[in-house]
Structure 1
Amino acid sequence: MRALADHRDIVPPTDHDAGDHRSVAVVGAGITGLVAAYELRRRGVNVTLYEASGYAGGAIRTSHIDGFLAEHGPNSFVTSAPVEALLTQLDLQDDVVEANSQANRRYVLRDGTLQSFPMTPLAMLGTRLFSLKAKLRVLLEPLVRRRTTDADESIASFVRRRLGHEVLDYAVDPFISGIFAGDTEALSMMHAFPRVFDLERKHGSLSAGLMATRGRMPLAPAKASDGSEASDADLTPAAEPTRARLISFVDGMQTLTDALEASLSGTLRLGCPVRLLHRDEGRWVVESGQEGLSRTRTVDAVVMATPAHVLAAMELPAGLRKHAALVERVEYPPMSVLTLGFERADVSHALDGFGMLIPSKEKRSILGALFSSSLFPSRAPDGTVSITCFVGGARMPDRAREDTDLLVERVLIDLRQLLGVRGEPIFAKHVYWPRAIPQYTVGYQAVKDAADETELNNPGLYLAGNYRNGVSVGDCMASGQQIAGRVARYLTRAS
């Protein structure tokens, strides 16, 4: 870990900086905050980026140990036109590595056996993942009546109505675990997958909606926070169509956040938590720093690009806290990410795909796993393979909190039975996230309304992050770009 002392700005407790006109404080140097600060600086805005921890990038971190590459959080993401433009601006195109096109197979576990998930209608007809009854149920989806109400509904309820319980259990449930590490009975269809929800509302059925919108839907949704599947949230609209690419970088995902951090030289304050925030004569006063070493800065606008629960730990005016109370209580279940390395000869499975997902009905310890060394090159030394496993989430939160030795023992039971793993791992990297992915639960509109009300009643304050407009890396990058545009327009009006 990089030393705090190398990056932290130490200033006298009495130092007061009145700031400059068109000045913005961005709080939180995860991918959303980094992109927001980068875009604002590119527009000529005087930016200060605050990060409580000793490093930038949030969940995006990469470890290189003994020839193995282990991602702490996201493993990849899908590009869009604005993201491609950002990569070009950061001079990262030569560092980009696209996912192995031969590794596009997804495996799903049913009755203890891994089955290839059908990616085409023809494959759906021939798959053993679903029974004949389930296949017929899918074909009859256009005949299912549309709901008479537009009220919120859980993903489980929506899928059971339209596609039947078997598709819920062995298609949607495992993929939801890959995206949100969440519970289909609790998550909102309207807010987790708004475009799919709208297909029924606008067209009467999913089939009719897909046919009616063919050619107008985005080419590909963005990757989820754990890198295991796709999310549904829209990205920033592109001026021109672009080929969506599933990518990482030669040296891992931290290449992206390191490049953004380097571009923000002189603006980033690491190890510098924001403790107090209040409005004074039309501007915002930000108090930051460790106990006894605080700094006060007055700025025109503030972007809160932190996880929602960070607001609860800050000293905020009563009026602001009143509107933000629901935002502060967004649920983030814990998750452990365990990257294991094995001798290639000790794994009988071909690992010829993206990875495997585990339905909750199968009662396994892991939510799923990525075949990391199959997906991207140079993830493991020659003659070895790496597998990244995800444990916990809303399904098994207590399991995520277990110590490394016990977790490895549990995960190995699944890998031995499902992938034919023999012997012990030659590499292990365990990363525990106490709060991993925000849960867009039924009734989540109240959270979104609270975020809107917070901004409306506190001019110059903006809330951004994966609890608001999507949980994927692409969603967060788009959120940072969009919030920068909104802040720039506010500063223009204010001037």
Structure 2
Amino acid sequence: MAAILGGGLGGLSTGYYLLKNNVCNNNNVKLFLLEATNQCGGWVKTIRTKDYLFEQGPRTIRPKGMPGLNTLNMMQDLGLSEHIAPIRSDHPAAKNRMIYVNNTLHMLPSSFRGIFQRNEPFSKPLIYAAFNDWKQPQKEMKDDSIYNFVERRFGKELADYAISPMICGICAGDAKEISVKFLMKTLFEHEQNHGGVMKGLLKSMFTGNLTEELELTELAKSAKEEKWSVYTIKGGLETFPLTLKNYLTDNNVAMHFNTSVKEIEFIDSSVVNLKKDNGEVLTANHIYSTVPAHVLARLVEKQHPKLSTYLNEIPFVTVGIVNLYFDTDKSLITPAFGFLVPPIENRSILGVVFDSCCIPDQKGTVLTVMLGGRWFHEKFGENPAESKLLEVALREIKAILKIDEKPTAYNVSILKRCIPQYVVGHYDRVDSIREYIENNNLPISLVGSSYDGVGVNDVIFSAKTQVGEVCTT
């Protein structure tokens, strides 16, 4: 019997891949999933009405790379192809991405020609950043913050106005703390192995790119051929986890909602007990934990305090989400994906997504304001009222977007400890966690955003990888 802990995308994807592997080629093995809340999907939540959609978490998915293509393969297998809404590279939401600096919105370069032109707030064309890399000496390091790396190789302006806001948008984090390996592992390796990023890129052009091939479905092929930038699902991204849940239920996976586990007890290398809050004990041969690292830390603390300590060293941040709907025939925004605010500006928001441009079948103007992240407690305190976040969001869009209208509808959510932070040393920390599990022969696999990437594609690919490792041993 195999147990999945957590009903977010990680848990649902783990169930999917276990079924695809026929639960490790043994059809007699039972599979059950435990979820503490009354619904699946984790942070992927959609509020639907006839006029608008409010996304509480992710709203679009990138099709790039092996993890991105892998997700599209899953989408087609689940019968979701006809529900996909792609945003191609020529769409305003793909081309137009802005940052807010010095009380002004600036469009970031989106073409090759753009890097040869001077674009505010940058004082020089971005091509000069490449020249800077050629001049800088090699600095041997095991890891570094992504901010320090970019500042060292390409200059402070790029670190402040491109990388820092991008990190805010991806993980609501501080680029001065996040590991360079989070987004730029290959570039960092070029510096370490070849003395510079540009030198490494040139050498890699002649050595070839040895990557594992993935057999592509028609949907994944379309994404490559049509140059999709991102895509979403008509009716809201929550359709994805709900479809996964139905797939698991139809294939006899036992789904236990409103089921909290208070302790995990490892008996031996093939028997583990999950002690529920109500005193009931469930026994499994293997656990796939997809809950946040700090949650798992609490469950294993009694029997494995060292493992618990490792898990608790992975920090998380809280994000405030304010969705706004303006029922107006006149668009209140420039067609674009939205804008991000560099931390150096010291504003109260991380950025704003223009959902009425990114998500199809929306009426009026729909915006999502993101607040807090790494700076949530600094800006809003421990337990701010939702009305406070709404007030700040409306004040900021009035100041930045010049929107004076009151929203027709809104929703405020505080997503507590929702995004893990891959701070410097994260990957060594994860290696230590998995080494501890292996050395102690614990029948548990770790899946999800705490370990292998914070994006939707990363979480799904993590599930596929971990299921594959167990099923081949």
Superposition pairs for residues 79-98 of structure 1, below 5 Å?
79=63, 80-98=68-86
Q: CA deviation at 1:260?
A: 0.7
Superposition pairs for residues 345-494 of structure 1, below 5 Å?
348-350=332-334, 352-378=335-361, 380-381=362-363, 384-399=364-379, 401-456=383-438, 457-490=440-473
Return the alpha-carbon distance in structure 2 between the equivalents of residues 449 and 307 of structure 1.
16
**Partner of 1:186: helix, strand, or coil?**
coil
Structure 1 residues 146 and 302: CA distance shift in structure 2, 3 A: farther
Superposition pairs for residues 300-379 of structure 1, below 5 Å?
300-316=285-301, 318=303, 320-344=304-328, 348-350=332-334, 352-378=335-361
1:354-376, Cα deviation, whole Å (9 max, x unpaired): 11011112222210111111012
1:64-102, Cα deviation, whole Å (9 max, x unpaired): 146221111111112333222211211111111112623
Return the alpha-carbon distance in structure 2 between the equivalents of residues 212 and 275 of structure 1.
52
Return the alpha-carbon distance in structure 2 between the equivalents of residues 426 and 451 of structure 1.
48
Q: CA deviation at 1:433?
A: 0.8
Structure 1 residues 213 and 345: CA distance shift in structure 2, 3 A: farther
1:431-466, Cα deviation, whole Å (9 max, x unpaired): 111102111112224421222223212342111111
Structure 2 equivalent of residue 267 of structure 1: 254
1:279 aligns with 2:255: no
Partner of residue 295 from structure 1, selected from 281, 290, 308: 281
Q: CA deviation at 1:110?
A: 1.8
Partner of residue 103 from structure 1, selected from 82, 93, 97: 93
For residue 117 of structure 2, what is the amino acid of its counterpart?
Answer: G
Structure 1 residues 307 and 142: CA distance shift in structure 2, 3 A: same
Structure 2 equivalent of residue 7 of structure 1: none
Q: CA deviation at 1:476?
A: 0.4
Q: CA deviation at 1:26?
A: 1.1
Structure 2 equivalent of residue 24 of structure 1: 2
Superposition pairs for residues 65-144 of structure 1, below 5 Å?
65=49, 67-79=51-63, 80-99=68-87, 101-104=91-94, 105-133=96-124, 135=126, 137-144=128-135
Structure 2 equivalent of residue 8 of structure 1: none
CA contact (8 A) 1:99 1:247 kept: yes
CA contact (8 A) 2:263 2:275 kept: yes
Structure 1 equivalent of residue 13 of structure 2: 35
Q: CA deviation at 1:187?
A: 1.3
**Partner of 1:436: helix, strand, or coil?**
strand
Return the alpha-carbon distance in structure 1 between the equivalents of residues 107 and 205 of structure 2.
26
Structure 1 equivalent of residue 27 of structure 2: none
1:8-43, Cα deviation, whole Å (9 max, x unpaired): xxxxxxxxxxxxxxx211111111111011110222
For residue 59 of structure 1, what is the amino acid of its counterpart?
Answer: W
Q: TM-score, normalised by structure 2?
A: 0.87
Q: CA deviation at 1:131?
A: 3.7
1:412-444, Cα deviation, whole Å (9 max, x unpaired): 222112212122111111111110211111222
For residue 247 of structure 2, what is the amino acid of its counterpart?
Answer: S
CA contact (8 A) 1:134 1:166 kept: no
Q: CA deviation at 1:284?
A: 2.4
CA contact (8 A) 2:297 2:311 kept: no
Partner of residue 152 from structure 2, selected from 161, 177, 181: 161
Instruction: Point out where structure 1 has 5 or more consecutive residues left out of the alignment.
Output: 1-22, 219-233, 491-495
Q: CA deviation at 1:153?
A: 1.2
1:115-163, Cα deviation, whole Å (9 max, x unpaired): 1101234212334324444747414134233434132211221111111
CA contact (8 A) 2:116 2:127 kept: no
CA contact (8 A) 1:25 1:48 kept: yes
CA contact (8 A) 2:300 2:307 kept: no
Return the alpha-carbon distance in structure 2 between the equivalents of residues 37 and 136 of structure 1.
46
1:314-353, Cα deviation, whole Å (9 max, x unpaired): 15553x3323421123111110111111134676432x11
| Identity across matched positions, percent | 24
**Partner of 2:317: helix, strand, or coil?**
coil
CA contact (8 A) 1:451 1:463 kept: no
Structure 2 equivalent of residue 204 of structure 1: 195
CA contact (8 A) 1:155 1:185 kept: yes
CA contact (8 A) 1:346 1:422 kept: no
Number of residues paired by the alignment? 445
CA contact (8 A) 2:118 2:125 kept: no
Instruction: Point out where structure 2 has 5 or more consecutive residues left out of the alignment.
Output: 24-29
For residue 348 of structure 2, what is the amino acid of its counterpart?
Answer: S
Deviates further, 261-270 or 140-149: 140-149
Deviates further, 417-426 or 278-287: 278-287
